[in-house]
Chains A and B, each alone.
Chain A
Amino acid sequence: MSTLARYRLLTAALLLILGGCATMQPYDYSNYYAHPPRSILVLPPLNESTAVEGTYSYLSTVTQPLAELGYYVYPVAVIDQYLKANGMPTAGEMHQIPLARIAEIIGADAVLYVDLKQYGSKFQVVSSNAIVTVTAQLVDTRTATVLWAGSATAQNNSNSNNSGSFLAQLLAAALVQAINSKVDVSHGVCRQANAQLFYPEGRGLPYGPYSPRHIAK
């Protein structure tokens, strides 16, 4: 094999390896690096799903991924209670607070606005799916610039055993559905959705200042 051929083969292999973790199209981070945030305020998500419980189920999974990326994340429950006590009982009202007011009252560099598009179980004859779809926008409180945006869908397909009769499968699926809805499998699926949302290299959120992997640009 010629050196060039070897080189090409290696390049192809590298691309394959990189492709395994990374993405389709590169994300433009210029807005992000023009105003890199230290602190992020996460408001309760707008909930477009039919499951009311989705709002706080999601909210209680979002601090860990952001903090582990190296950002200061305001205490989500305290913020929620504080805003409720100050006349904003719903996520919809919280999302309407002017950015300048957020900077003044809370001091956050950026706000993460999350939209919960889908949340919950779908019973599909012989299997039941817990599905979570989110879109998110990180907005700079000083300039109103969108620093980063992303979306993700995750699902937990609890496909009951494929062997056995159709009726048995149907019963098993219904049983799994009943168990799942009690423990709310979708809550765990939120964490999978967040991993897909924030962590992919080249498309996710860059490391923040508290991370040893943070790169100042």
Chain B
Amino acid sequence: MRIAAALAAALLVGGCATQPNLYAWGRYEDLIYTTYASPGSMPPERQVEALEQDYQQARANNQRMPPGWHAHLGYLYSELGKPDQARQELQTEKAEFPESAVFVDRLLANLSKS
């Protein structure tokens, strides 16, 4: 009976409780929203700056960046005409998340062409 009651309590707490985040989200999704909701209000330079700040903070807290994050930053660098930084971010995406390889290789190939 006591064990069953403990189990019920654990279910009650565990069933709805929130888990700690796997990733440091920073302003990633907010920046995407702003880019589409008010185009031009946040130029790529400032987005890169914001994302790099988020990255520093995540590193200080020993947290990972979310899937797609490094590819997104790489894309912004390529928009700014900085292919070296773009390449580096894309490589990081691939190293962190091998699932991205097919798409990232395509982006890397496009980067070499331009």
| A17–B32 touching, CB < 8 Å | no
* Tier of interface size on chain A: 35 or more
A73 engages B67 (CB within 8 Å): yes
A59 contacts the other chain (Cβ, under 8 Å)? yes
CB pair A201–B102 under 8 Å, yes or no, is: no
Give the bracket for the number of chain B residues in contact with chain A. 35 or more
Judged by a CB distance under 8 angstroms, whether A21 is at the interface is: yes
Given A17-B8, A20-B16, A107-B102, also A75-B71 (CB < 8 A): yes
Q: Across the interface, which residues of A come within 8 angstroms of B19, CB to CB?
A: 68, 213
Chain A proximity mask over B1-43: 1 for CB below 8 Å, otherwise 0 = 1001100100110011001011101001110110111000000
Answer whether residue B101 sits at the interface, using C-beta atoms and an 8 A cutoff: yes
Q: Using A61-B29, A78-B68, A107-B103 as known contacts, say yes or no to A17 and B12 having CB atoms under 8 A apart.
A: yes
CB-CB under 8 A from A53, the residues of chain B are 36-37
Does A179 sit at the interface, judged by CB under 8 A?
Answer: no
Q: Is the interface of B mostly helix, strand, loop or mixed?
A: helix
> Does B75 count as interface, using CB distance less than 8 angstroms?
yes
* Also in contact, A13 and B66, with CB within 8 A (given A18-B15, A78-B75): no
Q: Say whether A174 faces chain B, with CB atoms less than 8 Å apart.
A: no
User: Is A72 touching B99 in the complex (CB atoms < 8 A)?
Assistant: yes
Per-position binary interface string of chain B over residues 32-68, scored 1 when its CB falls under 8 Å from any chain A CB and 0 otherwise: 1101110000000000000000000000000000111
> How distant is the Cα of A39 from the Cα of B23 in the complex, in angstroms?
16
Q: How far is the CA of A30 from the CA of B108 in the complex (A)?
A: 37
Bound-complex Cα distance A153 to B86 (A): 39
On chain B, the residues within 8 Å of A81 by CB distance are: 75
For A69, the closest partner residue in chain B by CB is B22
> Do the beta carbons of B99 and A107 come within 8 Å of each other?
yes
**Which B residues, 64 to 106, have Cβ-Cβ distances below 8 Å to chain A?**
66-69, 71-72, 75, 97, 99-103, 106
In the complex, whether A105 has a CB less than 8 A from a CB of chain B is yes
Distance of B3 from chain A, by nearest CB (Å): 11
Whole-angstrom CA separation of A56 from B39 in the bound complex: 12
Given A56-B37, A68-B21, A76-B68, 12 extra CB contacts under 8 A: A10-B8, A18-B15, A63-B28, A64-B29, A67-B67, A73-B67, A73-B68, A75-B68, A77-B32, A184-B37, A187-B33, A210-B22
| A residues lining the B interface (CB < 8 Å) | 6, 10, 13-14, 17-18, 20-22, 38-39, 53, 56-57, 59-61, 63-64, 67-68, 70-79, 81-82, 104-109, 184, 187, 201, 210-211, 213
**A/B interface sample: 9 pairs, CB < 8 A:** A6-B1, A14-B11, A53-B37, A56-B33, A63-B67, A75-B71, A105-B106, A107-B101, A211-B22
